[in-house]
Amino acid sequence: MKKVILVAVSGAFLSMVSCKKSEGGNKEVIKSENSETSVVDNNGKIDSVSTLSSMTDVNGEKTEKTSNIYKATDGTLVKVVFETTPKESTLSIRNNNKTFILKKTGTSGNETTYMKDDMTARVTQDSIHLIQGNNIIELKKTKI
C-alpha cells in the first residue's frame, strides 16, 4: 500500500513539474510574418479604395480587368468589373447572383457611358449612376 501511495505521489509531483508552462510559448512553433497588401494606382500612389486590377496579354492583345466594390444608397454592396479589350470595353455589375453586362457607348469629359437595352450607367471617378426606366440607383466606391 505504501508503494502505491509513493508511486501516485511521485507521479503527481512529476506531472506538476513537467507541465510547467513558460510565458515564451512553444519554441517549436514557426511564427508567421504579417504582410500587408496595398493597391497602387497607375501613378504609383497607394489607392485608398479597394481595387483589384489585372492585365493579361494573349497573342499580343492586352486585356485589362479592374474590379471595385460599390455601395448603393440603401447599403447594398455591388461588385463592379471594368474590362477593356482591343475590341470593346464593358462594365459588369453583380448583385444578388445576377450580373448585368453593359457596353461602353461614349465618353464626355470625366463621365463614361455604358448601355444595354433600357439600362444606362454613367460612370465618374468614384460613382456610378444606373438608370433603368424611371429608376435611378446611385453607387459610390467604397472600402471593404
pLDDT value for 35 = 33
Between 31-40, 74-83, 93-102, the lowest mean confidence (pLDDT) is in 31-40
Domain assignment present for 91: yes
| Assigned domain for 13 exists | no
Residue 100 inside a domain? The answer is yes
Domain contains 103:
yes
- Give the CATH number for residue 136: 2.40.128.200
In this prediction, what percent of the chain has a pLDDT beyond 90?
A: 44
Q: What is the pLDDT of residue 143?
A: 76
> For residue range 68-80, what is the model confidence (pLDDT) as tens digits?
999 998 999 999 9
Number of structural domains the chain divides into = 1
20 located within any domain: no
Q: In which domain, by residue range, is 87 found?
A: 51-141
Rounded average pLDDT over 94-123: 93
Q: Is residue 23 part of a domain?
A: no
- Strand 61-72 and strand 98-108: the pairing is unpaired
Name which residue leads in pLDDT, 43 or 79. 79
Which whole-number Å values give the CA distances from 123 to 33, 127, 138, in the listed order? Answer: 39, 6, 10
Does residue 125 belong to any structural domain of this protein? yes
Q: What are phi and psi of 102, to 5 degrees?
A: -115, 145
Q: How many CA atoms lie within 13 A of 13 on its CB side?
A: 6
Specify if 90 maps to a domain: yes
pLDDT of residue 127: 94
Residue 6 clears pLDDT 70, i.e. is over it:
no
> pLDDT tens digits, residue range 9-20?
666 666 665 555
Whole-angstrom CA distances from 64 to 15, 70, 71, 101 are: 63, 19, 23, 16
